[in-house]
Amino acid sequence: MKSSIGFFELDWLLTPGPTPPVTAEEKFSLRRLSYDIPEEVGQAWVDCLELGDGIALYRAVHDLGKSPFGQLMPMMNVRTVAPEHMFSAQIWLSGMGCHQERWQGGEAAPVEILAGPGQDTFRFWKAYDVRVLVMGGVVSEMRSIFISEGLLETLLGDDVSEALRARLGLGAQTETVVLPMPPYIGAPLKEALSEQYAGPARRLFAQAKALEYLGGLVNFLHADEPQKVVRRHTAKIRALKDRLLALEGRLPSLNELAKEFGLSAKRLNAEFSAEFGQSIFAFVTTHRLEQAHSVLMTSAVPMKLIAERLGYSHVNHFITAFRKKFGYPPGSLRKNGAV
């Protein structure tokens, strides 16, 4: 059978029985940590999604409606030392946060960092010593990304990674900066912790959004320079397409694909998009939905099982994605509408 993007095999989707189990490392479920604050102050929590290889995404919610409006309420103290320098970015969807940070090993007085919607915070640190306060009287919501220096260089390339820190003004003497940013820059971080996908598909989606965020940030900071993707690795990109079309079951991460093809993840995704008009994640999603279309028309495999094998966390997410692509629900391909 031939689709609009090439030949594909369907055996992995058609195999009877439950979805093969994934390891704990592949589950990539959110970990929730509740803040230890008095009930009369409110409640707050942070969700973390660790993607491995030195990258983590965070979503924090502070429901401080019981607290005095406008007053900065202490949330927690954080002290940690990373094995290598970390780049982190933080966006606020609502409310306001304050970090009292100690740099240079705590030798100097704390530096007070205030941020809210439209004022994004960027850090490049190895030792992290901070007191976190959040504005009371409202619900505040924050997203952040932490990336090790080594992975940042893998994702963007050494030159772009160094240029990014330079454009942000991050260095040995200035570990944190707050800069005005348009909302569209942080949009991928807002979307990255979507509950739509599960397992390896969730990792690939989250990494794609992280890369989209970094690429958008780099382009914004270099807006005065022409942005043009030069296709230097056509043979590798076409080989990558063949690799993606042959995939069955588990999805590799962007980092794994970048290492396999010897390019940074940003370069790999950019050249792939230039060559085929879709990002790697969008290409894989389209391909797998076409595989599902064929399975639904030619087999009785339950729709729920197909959704699980494609990496959707719930069959309803699969139905929504299928309808968006084909213009009709997957159940319409089966006379009895079985799911």
For residue 210, the cross-strand partners are none
Q: How many helices (H) and strands (E) does the chain have?
A: 12, 11
Structure confidence by residue, pLDDT tens digits, 219-259 = 888 776 544 555 678 888 889 888 888 877 777 888 888 88
Domain 2-25+197-333: CATH superfamily is Homeodomain-like (1.10.10.60)
Return the domain boundaries, the chain.
2-25+197-333, 31-181
Residue 120 has pLDDT above 70, yes or no: yes
Percent of the chain topping pLDDT 90: 26
Q: Contact 27/19 with Cβ under 8 angstroms? A: no
User: Each residue of 29-66: pLDDT tens digit?
Assistant: 778 888 888 888 899 999 998 887 788 999 999 999 88
The structure tokens listed for 270 are 């950019």
What is the predicted pLDDT for the residue at 21?
Answer: 58
pLDDT score at 6: 46
- Of 227, 323, 224, the closest CA to residue 270 belongs to 227
Report phi then psi at 328, rounded to 5: -150, 155
Residue 197, SS3?
A: strand
Strands 97-101 and 111-115: antiparallel
| Cβ pair 233, 263 in contact under 8 A | yes
| Averaged pLDDT score across all residues of the chain | 83
Q: What is the pLDDT of residue 335?
A: 59
Q: So what's the architecture of 31-181 in CATH?
A: Sandwich (2.60)
- Specify the residue for token string 């290492």: 259
Contacts of 172 (CB under 8 A, 6+ apart): none
Q: How many CB atoms lie within 10 A of CB 43?
A: 15
Residue 337 has pLDDT above 50, yes or no: no
